[in-house]
Structure 1
Amino acid sequence: MLYHVRMDVRIPPDLDPAVRDALIAREKEYSQQLQRSGKWPHIWRIAGEYANYSVLDVADHDELHQILSNLPLFPYMDIQVTALARHPSKVD
């Protein structure tokens, strides 16, 4: 199943800089692992924001929830999910 996901990151400005850097490093490692596995085939930064648009390709809603909730930055994110369906006019 494909999902379009918008993630807005809102790290508290008073978070210890070392904790912030460690979270961001873990986030990058985790997300790149998912990208290499094919679960996270697309990610785009939203210009001018600490946010991204992503497409995730997972088995079901539960797997999507597991992936998102395991993101190290999850506690600091606002996430919007849209399930995607194949468009009948798409050319293969």
Structure 2
Amino acid sequence: MLFHVRMDVAIPRQIDPAERTRLVTAERERALALQEAGTWLHLWRIVGKYSNISVFDVQSSDELHEILWTLPLFPFMTIDVTPLAEHPSRRKST
């Protein structure tokens, strides 16, 4: 199942700089691992914001929920999830 996910991040300004660096580094490592596993298919930055648009390929909405909860920056995110279905006019890859 494919899901379009928008993540808006708002890390509090008063957070300790070392903790912020640790969280951001851990988030990057987790995102890379999910991309290498083929779960996080696309990751695009939204220009001018600390936000991204992503596409995940998972077996269920429950699996996506669990993945999102494992993201180190999850406590600081507002997330919007949209399930995707194949469009009948989509050009097929050869």
User: Where in structure 1 do 4 or more consecutive aligned residues deviate above 3 Å?
Assistant: none
Task: Name the structure 2 match of 1:51.
Answer: 51
Deviations 1:29-57 (A, max 9, x none): 00100001100010000000000000000
User: Partners of 2:14 and 2:58 in 1: how far apart?
Assistant: 35
Alignment of 1:60 onto 2:60: yes
RMSD between superposed Cα atoms in Å: 0.4
How far residue 91 of structure 1 moved from its aligned partner, in angstroms, is: 1.7
User: Partners of 1:17 and 1:69 in 2: how far apart?
Assistant: 23
SS at match of 1:28: helix
Task: Name the structure 2 match of 1:83.
Answer: 83
User: Partners of 2:26 and 2:90 in 1: how far apart?
Assistant: 37
Instruction: Give ranges in structure 1 of 5+ residues lacking alignment.
Output: none
Task: Name the structure 2 match of 1:36.
Answer: 36
Task: Name the structure 2 match of 1:8.
Answer: 8
Instruction: Give ranges in structure 2 of 5+ residues lacking alignment.
Output: none
Deviations 1:47-83 (A, max 9, x none): 0000000000000011000000100000000000000
User: Partners of 2:91 and 2:46 in 1: how far apart?
Assistant: 27
TM-score (norm 1): 0.99
